[in-house]
Amino acid sequence: KQEVTQIPAALSVPEGENLVLNCSFTDSAIYNLQWFRQDPGKGLTSLLLIQSSQREQTSGRLNASLDKSSGRSTLYIAASQPGDSATYLCAVRRRGASGSRLTFGEGTQLTVNP
């Protein structure tokens, strides 16, 4: 059974700091990995999608890397801003009994202090 772990569970940083969020998964037979952002009381917003054949994806101040063989992904946020405060979830897409399925980690709650 695929397990996804995110470290740290919570992180508080001052504005302007660069930071890294970590995601690990136990089964390396994945199709892709996706990073989401979730604001309080809101749904999930997709940030980056990395296919299993890719090593990284970038969008603005965000960079996500994928090392499938070691079962790890990192989300790098450059020059953090208070508006980045949210919960960040990673999810891996793997084959299930009835097609592919997303398995989520528990998230990292990020607070960026002005």
Partner 1 sequence: EAGVVQSPRYKIIEKKQPVAFWCNPISGHNTLYWYLQNLGQGPELLIRYENEEAVDDSQLPKDRFSAERLKGVDSTLKIQPAELGDSAVYLCASSLGQGSYNEQFFGPGTRLTVL
Peptide bond into 14 cis (omega under 30): no
User: Whole-number minimum distance, CB 89 to partner 1, in Å?
Assistant: 5
User: Whole-number minimum distance, CB 70 to partner 1, in Å?
Assistant: 21
- If the CB atoms of residues 2 and 80 are measured against partner 1, the closer one turns out to be 2
Q: What count of residues does the chain have?
A: 114
Tokens, residue 39: 């604001």
Positions touching partner 1 (CB under 8 A) are 4, 31-32, 34, 36, 41-46, 49, 51, 89, 91, 93, 96-102, 104-107
User: Whole-number minimum distance, CB 103 to partner 1, in Å?
Assistant: 8
- Alpha carbons 20 and 64: distance in angstroms, whole number: 9
3-class secondary structure for 62-78? EEEEEECCCCEEEEEEC
- Alpha carbons 89 and 114: distance in angstroms, whole number: 23
User: Whole-number minimum distance, CB 31 to partner 1, in Å?
Assistant: 3
